[in-house]
Amino acid sequence: MGISLKDIASAAGVSEATASLALNGRKGVNAQTRDKVIAIAKEMGYVGSDNAKTLASRRSGLIGVMVPNISNLFYSNLVRHIERALRDMGYKMILVTTESNINYEKEMIKRFVAFRVEGAIIYPSIKENEKPDYINILHQNSIPMVFIGSYYPGIDAPHVMSDLYQGVREAVDYLFITGARNLYYVGGCKTIVSNQLKEKAIRDYLQERGLDFPDDHYLELEHTRYENAYIRMDALLSSGKPVDAVIAADAFTALAVYNVLRKHDFLVPEQVSIISFDNLLYPDICVTRLSCIEQNLNSIVNCTLQNLRSMIRDHSDGVSHLTPTKLILRDTTRQYLATAR
């Protein structure tokens, strides 16, 4: 059971009617009592319902879904898979795109509670959010939640995501055995768990073979957009530093890397190999088909919803899960040579 009006009234030592008047800003309550009720409600994580019928039935048929944006191909495809699966399960989706705004994310978590969603799916992506305590408002109101794609390490909740560490290790291994020694990663903020796992995979693999992965070989993008990646890659190549392989955060980042390499007269893959994350662009849409690390969105979404359904129906704690990735080799990586090692 979530925090109820009755709980607030009891803690404040007033009637439910008085508590309701205070929380809704109605007349008939003195300022001191109103302030006391509001303070207690805030402390307990109470969020009033926008729908009395839903509150009475305790079933809304709604699932809250929160992602950074839908301009990124990965997020838009993820949302499409989630909505289709929820529809098949008899649920409707409330979609929130946060644009990595902490205050907005916090406010929309409260709106999830107000709409009495039965569960929430959250893609964590805000770099400053090591431990966003406001997400616990869901727990305080008995709303189960699953992280998808990554997780906030300071929040105790199950997560479902790709095995990014192993997927990147496999990609780095292929790049290494085909001759790459000056590898770069072009991606988002280092403080986000998914990027930390990718960086660790690169660093661990190279260190095991006696090579460093210098900090400046991670081209950190404030936002993983084509133009940002293009500017950073252009600056790198203009500096004259050696580069023979790049792992890109997504297809558009990879295309930016490819175009900058062509601008500077580098041959792909003869001089520089490129591996992109995700396999969401139709391969033939590019002049040179991108090699990639494919994430299994169907598996990620299905496992997430199985988790959430179990948490809703059986009040289980949920189980974190990693789904395997697949390395797909196309035109932007050199062919394997047995003598490369």
Q: Which helix (H) or strand (E) holds 322?
A: strand 321-323
Residue 311 has pLDDT above 80, yes or no: yes
In the sheet that holds 92-97, the strands lie side by side as 92-97, 62-67, 119-122, 145-148, 159-162, 321-323
| Residue 66 belongs to domain spanning | 52-157
pLDDT for the residue numbered 286 = 77
pLDDT bin (cut points 50, 70, 90) of residue 130 is low
Claim to verify: residue 195 and residue 244 sit in the same structural domain: yes
| Structural tokens at position 268 | 């792909």
For residue range 76-101, what is the model confidence (pLDDT) as tens digits? 999 999 999 999 999 999 999 998 88
In percent, how much of the chain has pLDDT > 90? 63
CA-based torsion, 227, 229, 230, 231: positive or negative? positive
pLDDT for the residue numbered 29 = 87
pLDDT for the residue numbered 127 = 67
Choose the final residue of a domain: 123, 138, 157.
157
Claim to verify: residue 76 and residue 171 sit in the same structural domain: no
Residue scoring higher pLDDT (225 or 205): 205
Claim to verify: residue 177 and residue 142 sit in the same structural domain: no
Range 267-286 average pLDDT: 91
Claim to verify: residue 225 and residue 180 sit in the same structural domain: yes
Quote the CA–CA distance of 61 and 40 in Å, as a whole number: 29
Question: Nearest Cα to 184, choosing from 147, 220, 150?
Answer: 220
Claim to verify: residue 221 and residue 288 sit in the same structural domain: yes
Is residue 103 domain-resident?
Answer: yes
Range 302-324 average pLDDT: 95
Strands 245-248 and 183-187: parallel
Claim to verify: residue 23 and residue 75 sit in the same structural domain: no
pLDDT for the residue numbered 227 = 96
Residue 307 has pLDDT above 70, yes or no: yes
Range 193-213 average pLDDT: 97
Query: What average pLDDT does the chain have?
Result: 90
Residue scoring higher pLDDT (166 or 336): 166
CB 141 within 8 A of CB 113: yes
Quote the CA–CA distance of 318 and 336 in Å, as a whole number: 42
Choose the final residue of a domain: 125, 141, 157.
157
pLDDT bin (cut points 50, 70, 90) of residue 54 is very low
pLDDT bin (cut points 50, 70, 90) of residue 128 is low
In the sheet that holds 326-328, the strands lie side by side as 218-220, 183-187, 245-248, 273-277, 291-294, 326-328
Claim to verify: residue 64 and residue 149 sit in the same structural domain: yes
Residue scoring higher pLDDT (131 or 69): 69
Is residue 245 domain-resident?
Answer: yes
- CA angle 299-81-63, nearest 5°? 105
Is residue 264 domain-resident?
Answer: yes
For residue range 173-186, what is the model confidence (pLDDT) as tens digits? 999 999 999 999 99
Give me the CATH number covering residue 109. 3.40.50.2300
With b for 16 or more beta-carbon neighbours within 10 A and e for fewer, the 154-163 pattern comes to ebebbbbbbb
- CA angle 125-122-227, nearest 5°? 35
Helical H segments across the chain, by residue range: 5-12, 16-23, 31-44, 52-57, 73-89, 102-114, 136-140, 164-177, 193-208, 226-239, 251-263, 297-314
Range 133-147 average pLDDT: 91
pLDDT bin (cut points 50, 70, 90) of residue 2 is low
Residue 341 has pLDDT above 90, yes or no: no
Predicted TM-score (pTM) above 0.85: no
Is residue 327 domain-resident?
Answer: no
As for how many domains the chain has, the answer is 3
Is residue 301 domain-resident?
Answer: no
pLDDT for the residue numbered 81 = 96
Is residue 325 domain-resident?
Answer: no
